[in-house]
Amino acid sequence: MTERPTRSPWPSRRDRETERMDKREALLQAAVRSFNEKGFHATSLDDVAASMNVTKPTIYYYLGNKDEILFECVRRGLVSIREIIRSVEETGGTGYERFRALLLGYARIMTEDFGMCITRTADHELSPESRARFRALKREIDATIRRVVEEGIADGSIVPGDPRIMTFVATGALNWIARWYDPSGPMSAEEVAQSCVETILRGFRPGTIAMEGTKNADTGSI
């Protein structure tokens, strides 16, 4: 997307570097799509390669072995979540407000390829080393969210309860999006994210006092 003048037939060094990255990205995309669609084990690297009109060794050249590929996929998803959380943490506001913004970001990521890959990937599909890193990242995210819940309870903006369970319930409901959301379905990713988060926060019992709009600007809805 960098604008350059009339393309020379002799690509510059920078072009070649970009091309290399593009190829890498394309292969990773093809891999994550296949992992999500058919599952990690049922995905053969031959097929992934073929889908991009190359052969298996090319995949090894760009991405490494199958375990490294899967780990890179979930890593990206988890890093996205971590970044969302980090940016929310900086905004300030009550625990509840931060929790809400954070869940919204989390939910959006769950509708994307790398995000979906996180919850579709079971720990034991990764090598022991990757698994340890995978778990560590998840634990870190979990701990951060839990802390926000605790702060919300402390400042009275979130209903009291067991923060561990509350975190699992909220993230569990969002993780599940990755298992049922269909981009070609009737709802957009953004609609799904917003309505899921609203439902989680609101609960099922009537009698809640406040009722926030579903589409207020501060959530950055499209």
Partner DNA sequence: GCGGTTATTTACTCACGAGTATATAACCTA
Partner DNA sequence: TAGGTTATATACTCGTGAGTAAATAACCGC
Q: Is the dihedral of CA 108, 110, 111, 117 positive or negative?
A: positive
44 binds, among a second copy, DNA, none (CB under 5 to 8 A by kind): DNA
CA–CA separation, 55 and 58 (whole Å)? 6
Residue the block writes with tokens 């593009």: 22
What tokens were used for 41? 């084990």
54 binds, among DNA, a second copy, none (CB under 5 to 8 A by kind): DNA
> Shortest distance, CB of residue 129 to DNA, whole angstroms?
12
| Binding pattern for the stretch 60-89 against DNA, x by CB under 7 A and - elsewhere | xxx--xxx----------------------
Question: Which is nearer to a second copy, 99 or 114 (by Cβ)?
Answer: 99
Asked if residue 130 binds DNA (CB under 7 A), the reply is: no
What tokens were used for 203? 């609960």
Asked if residue 54 binds DNA (CB under 7 A), the reply is: yes
Applying CB under 8 A, the residues found at the interface with a second copy are: 37-39, 41-42, 96, 99, 120, 122, 124-125, 152, 156-159, 161-162, 165-166, 168-177, 179-180, 192, 195-196, 198-210
Which one, of 69, 30, 72, lies nearest residue 52 by Cα? 30
170 binds, among a second copy, DNA, none (CB under 5 to 8 A by kind): a second copy
Asked if residue 44 binds DNA (CB under 7 A), the reply is: yes
Asked if residue 4 binds DNA (CB under 7 A), the reply is: no
Amino acid at 169: V
Question: Which is nearer to DNA, 21 or 132 (by Cβ)?
Answer: 21
Question: Which is nearer to DNA, 122 or 154 (by Cβ)?
Answer: 122
46 binds, among DNA, a second copy, none (CB under 5 to 8 A by kind): DNA
What tokens were used for 118? 């996180």
- Which spans of this chain sit near DNA (rule: CB under 7 A)? 10-11, 13, 16, 20, 23, 42-46, 49, 53-58, 60-62, 65-67
